[in-house]
Structure 1
Amino acid sequence: MKNVLIIGAHGQVGQLLTDKLNADAGYTPVALIRKEEQRALFEQKRVEARVASLEDGVDALAAQMNGIDAVVFSAGSGGSTGPDKTLTIDLDGAVKAMEAAEQAGIKRFVMLSALHTDDRNRWTDAEGMKPYYVAKYYADRILKGSKLEYTIVRPGALKNEDGTGKINTAEPDKQQDVPRADVAEVIREVLNQDRTIGQIIPFTRGETPIREAVG
């Protein structure tokens, strides 16, 4: 059984992933949350919660990774914050999480990124999104240059819909979005398959079963 630390567990994808791993006999999810008042949600699920801020130092984050086998970074500053928080959470927070994982001796690291992050020509400034793409681009780039056994998942626009269990990785531009539930399932399946180590997986909704699509 693998202990998986979900950074950003209180977020929408994070909660879905927590539930999926909690129902999977192969995993024990551990929620990393930034507010003590968020703990009750996970206690109800019988999931251990650890409190830390991504604006803390690397040593403080590494201390929360004791006994952890893999880290999933699904945190984000959110749409209601400014570019400053995007910089400190989505970029520097992600990098500190990588450094903390290395310090704690953890090898496996899964990054939740975004479709077209690696293509500057596709970055849109609609709704102030460009700083988010910039942050994700450099966080992904630093992860690729690290010693971690990484997988980067890059979904299209996230939707609050029931998951279909199917995605499109071959031609993700055929669709623009994907249910959050399917994103969580992609991450779970990535953790199941060591062949995804060192891979970047762009995807949107589609017709290929997730296990087959990421395999």
Structure 2
Amino acid sequence: MEQVLIAGATGATGKKIINFLKESQYFEPIAMIRKEDQKSFFEDQNVRWILGDLSKDVSHTCKNMDKVIFAAGSGGSNVVEIDQEGAKRFIDASKSNNIKKFVMLSSMGADQPEEMEELHDYMVAKHKADIYLRNSRLNYAIVRPGALTNEAGTQHIELSHKLKEQGSISRTDVAQVLTRVLHDDTANKETFEIIKGGRLIGKALETMSTVEV
């Protein structure tokens, strides 16, 4: 099984990612936590963990990992330090450790942050992090969901490199997409948007099935 490190494992979406990976026959999740008192949540689920603070050097966290998911966020309180520079530190750590695939949780609007009056600073930070990943020479998938909700997952989405409409999507469905694009034959060096829709996630992702480049 491939070892997958999740940055942001303690967040609402991160915990759902962990749950999906626990059910996988291909991947084993490793939770990156900032404080040691967060470990019990994962130990109770028999999930391995590693200490790492995105505001500092995290190069040690990616050792012996195969792939990574960046689902961390500052919650709007420190977007430059965490959402932008923290992502860059994690990308650099992934490069140093020859990570085979980097899955980035981004956001709709990150491609044109100048058009986003609300959350402008956040979108700029995500935009810069996405560009840094694209230029890193790592294999990557950048997933840009619409507004995240805590509704139950539907397993149905709309997906495109650039959607024609805004929309929302459940964290559960986003987590499922993030785990599915870890596979080698799906979404290699791709950036795409997702919202709640009418296509099964697996079918929608077939449009992103590619040979690794």
Q: Quick check: TM above 0.5? A: yes
Residue 120 of structure 1: CA displacement? 3.1
1:200 is aligned to 191
Q: Secondary structure at the match of 1:163?
A: coil
Q: Which has the higher helix share?
A: 1
Corresponding position: 1:94 with 2:87:
yes
2:71 is aligned to 74
Count residues with an aligned counterpart.
205
Percent identity between matched residues is: 37
Corresponding position: 1:183 with 2:174:
yes
More deviation, 184-193/66-75: 184-193
Distance in structure 1 (CA, Å) of the matches to 2:184 and 2:64: 21
1:11 is aligned to 11
1:124 is aligned to 117
1:55 is aligned to 55
| Equivalent pair of 1:175/1:205 in contact (CA under 8 Å) | no
CA-to-aligned-CA distance 1:124-151 (integer Å, 9 cap, x gap): 32xxx11100000000011111110010
TM-score (norm 1): 0.91
| Equivalent pair of 2:114/2:120 in contact (CA under 8 Å) | no
Residue 194 of structure 1: CA displacement? 2.5
Distance in structure 1 (CA, Å) of the matches to 2:179 and 2:85: 25
Q: Structure 1: state its 5+ residue gaps.
A: none
Q: What amino acid does structure 1 have at the position aligned with 2:195?
A: T
1:32 is aligned to 32
CA-to-aligned-CA distance 1:184-213 (integer Å, 9 cap, x gap): 000111112523111011010000111111
Q: Structure 2: state its 5+ residue gaps.
A: 207-213
Corresponding position: 1:138 with 2:135:
no
CA-to-aligned-CA distance 1:16-70 (integer Å, 9 cap, x gap): 000100111111000001111111100011100111100112xxx1212122100
| Equivalent pair of 1:201/1:214 in contact (CA under 8 Å) | no
2:96 is aligned to 103
CA-to-aligned-CA distance 1:150-201 (integer Å, 9 cap, x gap): 1000000000011000100147444510000000000111112523111011
CA-to-aligned-CA distance 1:61-97 (integer Å, 9 cap, x gap): 1212122100100000014x2xxx2101000000010
Q: CA RMSD in A?
A: 1.3
1:64 is aligned to 61
Q: Secondary structure at the match of 1:152?
A: strand
